[in-house]
Structures are given as structure tokens and as C-alpha cells.
């Protein structure tokens, strides 16, 4: 008697979904390849780049991040609003960075700003006000469905803060740390991405209790604890490797613990945005890693903390 093939699950059947997922190739290999090639290049650029080069790289990241965010939240058919949002986001970022780098001298000429002075609050407020006005005006003249206007205005304003101001703190940190700027940026990345790796491997090994099942079903409480420990270890490595020997043990913990909690929160916050809009990745710019926001979501939340600690507590 000939054995009959088992029937294929019907479309929409949970078994069909599970079967499809089982046939999907793992994205671990492309992720590892990209990381092995890209991370050394990134660290080299960060470590050796003068402040103005790092600021230019930051500007590119700001535009890409803003574009990804509004593409997720506004859709892909609001090009005028998306372009205006990206330009406004870049303007807010520039107000932070340029006023931290330069100041007006007595004769009205641009001069190098004093280290640690911080960006001009007046200029930043004016940039934010102009960006808010631009956001309202572009929707006033280009809206299609009036019921969506306030949602899209809100998306544009969040993009300016999330993708413009938050990464700006990394550049401010790089500038204010002077000769040690590259070390501080690599420390920030190591703390955040070390957390990501620690959470991933610990979660896969012993993770049983879901951290936020409705937002990110694969994350576990055990993984979160593993990520926290990894962040603390990363900062201690920088201290005892002689890169930042001046850090005390208390300062190591003050840096690592809140930064880790912020980083893990940032990861979850981007996940809830993607889930709300039914997208898997924020974009496709990085092979095997999705969009730029998928890679820096945790970094965006942790960066202001590193800047604050470096400027006021160390």
C-alpha cells in the first residue's frame, strides 16, 4: 500500500504559519557576517575620527533614522511630509551640534566654543519652534484624510526628537570628551551592544519567563538580567584595560546600570512602534540586521545618560 503524503495545512492555519517559520533560513549567519565586517570598521572610524567627521556621520544617521521612522508611522505615500520631517530633524540636530562646536565672538565671527559649554539653548529652542511650525504647515497643505492629520503631525514631531535629538547626544559626548571622545563612544556602544548579546545568549540558554510578551515575545527576564550583567562587565573592562582608569567602581555602576535599563527600554519602545504598524524591520539598510533604527534603538535611549554622566558626574 502506497503511503499517502500528509495534507498541507490550510492557509491561515497556525500549523501552516509554524511550518513556514520552520522553513525560513536563520538570519544568524548574515548577522554575524555583517557584524564581523562592520564592527571593526565602525570602531576604527569612531576611534580615529575628528569631531567634525563624527558629526557628519551623525547627520547622515539622523536623516536615515527620521526617514525610517516616518515611513513606518506615516506610510510610504506621504513623501512631501516625510522630506520636510527629515529636513526639520536635521535642523534640530544641527542646532545642537553646531552651537556646541562654535560660538559668536565679540566681532560677530564664528569661534570655537569652550569645551563642556553645551549647546545653545536659545538656538535649539528656535530650531524646535521652526520645526513644529513646518510640521503643521506641511500637513495643512498636503493632507488627504483629515482624520489622519494629527497622527501624522505627532509622528513627525516624535521623529524630530527621537531620530534627531537623541543621536545628537552621542556627538555631544564625542565633542565634550575631547581626546577621549572616541573611547567614550566605543564604551557607549560596547555597553549597549554587549547588553544585546548577553540578553540574546542568556535568553536562548535559560530564558523561561517572558519580559514583555505582547511587545517582544522572544525576550525573557533571564535574558534581561544577562544583558545587565554584560553591560556592567563591559564598563569594568574599559576601566581595568586602562582605557578609562579614572572611573571608580561607583561610577562604573552609575554608568552601566541605568544605561542598560534605558537601552533595554529603548529596544522595547522601537518594537512597540513596529508592532503597532505591522512591520518587521524599520528598514533594510543593513544586511541581516534590518534598518538603522533596529540597530541603534537601544543606543538612542542610553546616549543621553552617558552624556549626562560624563558632563556632570565625572
> What per-residue confidence (pLDDT) applies to 11?
45
Same-domain status, 154 and 92 = yes
In a domain, 287, yes or no: yes
Same-domain status, 165 and 190 = no
Cβ atoms < 10 Å from Cβ of 150: 10
In a domain, 25, yes or no: no
The candidate with the shortest Cα–Cα distance to 298, out of 209, 228, 233, is: 228
Q: How many helices (H) and strands (E) does the chain have?
A: 11, 4
Same-domain status, 172 and 194 = no
Contact call for residues 173 and 307 (beta carbons, < 8 A): yes
In a domain, 265, yes or no: yes
Same-domain status, 170 and 257 = no
In a domain, 168, yes or no: yes
In the DSSP assignment, the letter for residue 311 is I
Question: Any idea what the Cα angle at residue 299 is, between residues 293 and 184, rounded to 5°?
Answer: 140
d(CA 220, CA 208): 6
d(CA 152, CA 92): 19
Same-domain status, 262 and 192 = yes
In a domain, 152, yes or no: yes
Same-domain status, 186 and 170 = no
Which of 122, 155, 176 is at the close of a domain?
Answer: 176
Which of 176, 199, 234 is at the close of a domain?
Answer: 176
d(CA 99, CA 247): 29
Same-domain status, 155 and 219 = no
> What per-residue confidence (pLDDT) applies to 12?
45
d(CA 34, CA 199): 19
Which of 151, 176, 201 is at the close of a domain?
Answer: 176
Name the strand (E) or helix (H) holding 207: none
> What per-residue confidence (pLDDT) applies to 20?
43
Same-domain status, 188 and 130 = no
Same-domain status, 199 and 304 = yes
Question: Any idea what the Cα angle at residue 94 is, between residues 90 and 98, rounded to 5°?
Answer: 170
User: Residue 191 has which C-alpha cell?
Assistant: 555597553
> What per-residue confidence (pLDDT) applies to 1?
46
In the DSSP assignment, the letter for residue 279 is -
Q: Tell the burial category of 314 from Cβ atoms under 10 Å away from its Cβ (0-12, 13-18, 19+).
A: middle
Same-domain status, 170 and 210 = no
d(CA 179, CA 243): 12
Same-domain status, 219 and 107 = no
Same-domain status, 202 and 163 = no
296 lies in which domain range?
Answer: 179-314
The length of the chain in residues reads 314
For the stretch 272-299, what's the b/e string if a residue is b when 16 or more beta carbons lie within 10 angstroms of its beta carbon?
ebbeeeebeebbebbeebbbbbbbbbbb
> What per-residue confidence (pLDDT) applies to 156?
96
Q: How many domains are contained in the chain?
A: 2
Show pLDDT as tens, one digit a residue, over the chain (314 residues).
444 444 444 444 444 444 444 444 455 666 666 667 667 777 777 888 888 889 999 999 999 999 999 999 998 888 999 999 999 999 999 999 999 988 755 555 556 766 667 888 899 999 999 999 999 999 999 988 899 999 999 999 999 999 999 999 999 999 999 899 999 999 999 999 899 999 999 999 999 999 999 999 999 999 999 999 999 999 999 999 999 999 999 999 999 999 999 999 999 999 999 999 999 889 877 666 689 999 899 999 999 999 999 999 98
Amino acid at each position: 500500500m502506497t503511503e499517502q503524503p500528509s495534507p498541507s495545512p490550510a492557509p491561515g492555519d497556525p500549523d501552516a504559519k509554524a511550518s513556514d517559520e520552520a522553513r525560513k533560513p536563520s538570519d544568524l549567519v548574515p548577522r554575524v557576517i555583517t557584524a564581523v565586517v562592520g564592527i571593526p570598521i565602525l570602531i576604527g572610524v569612531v576611534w580615529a575620527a575628528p569631531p567634525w567627521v563624527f558629526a557628519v556621520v551623525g547627520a547622515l544617521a539622523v536623516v536615515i533614522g527620521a526617514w525610517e521612522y516616518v515611513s513606518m508611522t506615516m506610510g510610504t505615500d506621504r513623501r512631501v511630509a516625510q522630506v520636510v520631517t527629515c529636513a526639520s530633524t536635521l535642523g534640530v540636530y544641527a542646532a545642537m551640534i553646531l552651537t556646541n562646536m562654535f560660538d559668536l565672538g565679540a566681532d560677530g565671527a564664528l569661534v570655537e566654543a569652550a569645551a563642556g559649554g553645551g549647546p545653545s539653548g536659545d538656538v535649539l529652542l528656535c530650531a524646535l519652534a521652526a520645526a513644529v511650525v513646518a510640521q503643521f504647515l506641511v500637513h495643512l497643505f498636503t493632507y488627504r484624510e483629515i482624520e489622519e492629520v494629527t497622527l501624522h503631525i505627532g509622528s513627525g514631531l516624535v521623529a524630530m526628537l527621537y531620530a534627531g535629538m537623541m543621536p545628537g547626544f552621542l556627538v555631544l559626548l564625542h565633542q565634550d570628551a575631547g581626546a577621549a571622545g572616541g573611547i567614550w563612544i566605543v564604551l557607549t556602544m560596547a555597553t549597549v551592544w554587549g547588553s544585546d548579546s548577553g540578553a540574546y545568549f542568556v535568553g536562548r540558554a535559560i530564558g523561561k519567563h517572558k519580559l514583555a510578551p505582547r511587545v517582544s515575545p522572544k525576550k525573557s527576564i533571564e535574558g534581561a538580567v544577562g544583558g545587565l550583567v554584560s553591560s556592567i562587565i563591559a564598563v569594568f573592562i574599559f576601566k581595568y584595560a586602562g582605557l578609562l582608569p579614572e572611573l571608580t567602581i561607583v561610577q562604573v555602576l552609575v554608568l552601566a546600570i541605568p544605561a542598560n535599563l534605558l537601552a533595554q527600554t529603548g529596544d522595547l519602545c522601537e518594537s512597540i512602534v513596529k508592532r503597532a504598524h505591522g512591520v518587521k524591520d524599520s528598514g533594510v539598510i543593513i544586511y541581516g540586521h534590518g534598518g538603522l533604527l533596529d540597530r541603534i534603538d537601544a543606543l538612542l535611549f542610553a546616549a543621553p545618560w552617558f552624556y549626562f554622566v560624563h558632563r556632570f558626574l565625572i
